Chain A
Amino acid sequence: MAANAHDLKMWFVCEVLPLEASLMQFLRRSWPRREDVADLRQDIYVRVYEAARKQIPRPAKPFVFAVARNLLIDRLRHERIIPIDGVSDLDAIEVAADEPGPDRNAIARDALRRLQAAMERLPPRCRQAVILRQVEGLSRREIALRMGISEKTVKCHLNDGAGLLIDMLHDIDSDLGSKP
């Protein structure tokens, strides 16, 4: 039976996205070119989503990593440039059984720690714009006035800042990547 849209989204957000840090770690370890991993991750998400549309796989973790491994094997075959131990590494990947989750306080503290670390890594102007918006609740126009820059520049800072935060909040080790 096809999954309904709401369940599918909830599943993706609550069960797949939290795996991103370990998925990225796996991709960085297994794939020789670091600049490719964001694309690989995105392709994995699309494959996971397409499969889940037919039926939501539970538990999510072994499924997501199986998709990841298959995708890497496809790419490795296709590119034919990778030393053989790159491939053998794929077999070594362990998918840890899900341990009992940490209690909610711990999760909350963890969420805050991540947010704090991510905010500290933002470029200063982006950070300032994000703080004015999310902490003070200012509009773009008000932020522009405060920072003495144009609304258009505010929009750029916010978009860049949001993009970086979104990456880091899913995976704190993500590269700050293309600098804003």
Chain B
Amino acid sequence: MSSAKETQARAVEWLLERRDRGDWSVQDQERLDAWLAQSPSHLVAYWRAEDGWSRTELLSAFRTTMRPERGAQVAGISLRHALARITAVLAVVICGAAAAYYTLGMREQVYATGIGGKRSIVLADGSRIDLNTDTTVRARFGNGTRLVTVDKGEAYFQVKHDPGHPFVVTAAGDRIVDLGTKFIVRNNADRLEVSLLEGRARFEPEDGARGGAKVLVPGDVVIATPTSIATKRKTLKAVANELGWQRGVVVFDNTSLSDAVSELNRYNRKKLIVADSSVARMTIVGTFPVNDIALVLDAAKDVYGLHVRDDRDEAVISR
């Protein structure tokens, strides 16, 4: 065997182990990361294996169109016939997601909300996803995997745990693997935040460069950017406050006015603008309806004695 073939065989073994094993642990991930870090040859072989294998995901589309009854017939599946049927309905193949999955339009469900929108989805397995404002997620089920991608926005996951079929959420290339869990994923441009409310989940960075995988416990908040990953601890109450939007409110607890305003702006077309930095640093406490900008402006005027210029598309707050 040539050395390239050997490296490839190893890469394939790692890849299938990682995909197949329900009990893939942090230690396993560390061993894989160490192997990948050992040599660029390992890394490119792994990428190549991942890419090649992802193309066979097309096969899982057969599952809905045909289902061999008995083992004896399996080898005799008419690939040609089924492929012809799939080709007829197949619309889009894109190269884009972090794993460069070839995505089948027909198997993938896209759920989205607009600005100010909210939506609850109950998946076939009983898991539930609540979408907050301006959010897009894609769900792909089947082939023993449950995969949801958060393209943008914020989603709250309540997962029905099933050790044989891991529930995996990807966002900005990083992966969250449920170990029996309620968690929030918030994906803004260049900043991914994962907060765990209940149970356990494993956070797996796309690459080893920003650190290894870690298991999250309730109250953990992971903040990942393209260059760094940090974990901070919050009280459960603080994490639960982040779910205020489910009741249509945001909860501010000594939040700076600039953070509060950018939070409220997620929900409304009319944007609030803080005009000067001394105002931006003021802190605010209280619970506000997400869509009642007038209330915030009144508070700014009456409680903080600030000046408000209220136009149709925006409102500017200043001294």
A and B associate in one complex: yes
Chain A residues close to B by CB (< 8 Å): 4-6, 9-10, 12-14, 17, 35-36, 38-39, 41-43, 45-46, 49-50, 104-105, 107-109, 111-116, 119-120, 124, 127-128, 130-140, 146-147, 155, 158-159, 162-163, 165-167, 169-170, 177-178
Q: Which residue of B lies closest to A7 (CB)?
A: B226
Question: Judging by beta carbons under 8 Å apart, are A12 and B44 in contact?
Answer: yes
Q: How far is the CA of A158 from the CA of B53 in the complex (A)?
A: 11
Q: Which of A10, A135, A167 contacts B60 (CB 8 A)?
A: A135
- B38 CB to closest chain A CB, in angstroms? 13
Chain B positions 59-80 with a Cβ under 8 Å from a chain A Cβ: 59-60, 62-63, 67-68, 71, 74-75, 77, 79-80
Q: State whether B100 touches A108 (Cβ < 8 A).
A: no
B contact residues around A49 at 8 Å (CB): 40, 43-44
Question: In the bound complex, how far is the Cα of B165 from the Cα of A139, in angstroms?
Answer: 10
B55 and A45 form a contact (CB under 8 A): no
User: Counting CB contacts under 8 A, is B142 at the interface?
Assistant: yes
Complex Cα spacing A170 to B54, Å: 12
Instruction: Give chain B nearest CB distance to A45 CB in angstroms.
Output: 4
Whether A166 and B164, one on each chain, are in contact in the complex, defined by CB atoms closer than 8 angstroms, is no
Q: Which residues of B contact A113 (CB under 8 A)?
A: 83
By the criterion CB–CB under 8 Å, are B100 and A39 in contact? no
In the assembled complex, the Cα of A140 lies from the Cα of B96 at a distance in Å of 30
Contact at A124–B44, with CB atoms within 8 Å? no
The reply to whether A6 and B48 contact each other, CB–CB distance below 8 Å, is no
**Which residues of the other chain, B, contact A12 by a CB distance below 8 angstroms?**
44, 47
Bound-state Cα–Cα, A113 to B47, Å: 23
- Is residue B173 contacting chain A, with contact meaning CB distance below 8 A? yes
A119 to B58, CA, bound (A): 12
Q: Which residue of A lies closest to B1 (CB)?
A: A178
Min CB–CB distance A129 → chain B (angstroms): 10
Which of B15, B48, B63 contacts A45, CB < 8 Å? B48
B25 CB within 8 Å of chain A = no
The answer to whether A46 and B12 touch across the interface, beta carbons within 8 angstroms, is no
Q: Can you spell out 6 A-B residue pairs with CB atoms less than 8 angstroms apart?
A: A6-B226, A107-B93, A115-B56, A138-B144, A165-B52, A167-B8
Using A6-B207, A45-B44, A132-B74 as known contacts, say yes or no to A166 and B93 having CB atoms under 8 A apart. no
B98 and A109 contacting across the interface, CB-CB below 8 Å? no
CB-based contact B100/A10 at 8 Å: yes
Report the minimal beta-carbon distance from B183 to chain A, rounded to whole angstroms.
22
Which residue of B2, B41, B47, B56 contacts A165 across the interface (Cβ within 8 Å)? B56
User: Is B86 interfacial (CB-CB < 8 Å)?
Assistant: yes
Chain A proximity of B309: nearest CB distance (Å): 40
B15 touching A108 by the CB < 8 A rule? no
Q: A5-B206, A12-B44, A131-B75 are in contact. Are A108 and B63 (CB under 8 A)?
A: no
**Nearest chain B residue, comparing its CB with the CB of A114:** B55
Is B245 interfacial (CB 8 A cutoff)? no
Instruction: Give 8 nearest A-B pairs by CB, closest first.
Output: A166-B52, A42-B4, A137-B144, A5-B207, A134-B59, A146-B71, A108-B93, A13-B100
Bound CA span A4–B13, Å: 27
> Within 8 Å CB of A167, what residues of B?
8, 52
Whether B98 pairs with A6 at a CB distance below 8 angstroms is: yes
The interface residues of chain A lying within 8 Å CB-to-CB of B172 are 6
Q: Establish whether residues A159 and B48, one from each chain, have CB atoms under 8 Å apart when the complex forms.
A: no
Known: A10-B100, A134-B59, A170-B48. A46 touches B41 (CB 8 A): yes
CB distance from B175 to the nearest CB of A (A): 13
Asked if residues A159 and B9 are in contact (CB atoms below 8 Å), the reply is yes
Per-residue contact bits, chain B 206-221, to A (CB 8 Å; 1 contact, 0 not): 1101100000000000
Smallest CB gap from A109: residue in B: B87
Q: Please state if A104 and B91 are interface contacts (CB–CB under 8 Å).
A: yes
Q: B59 contacts which chain A residues (CB < 8 A)?
A: 115, 119, 130-131, 134-135
Min C-beta distance of A39 to chain B, whole Å:
4
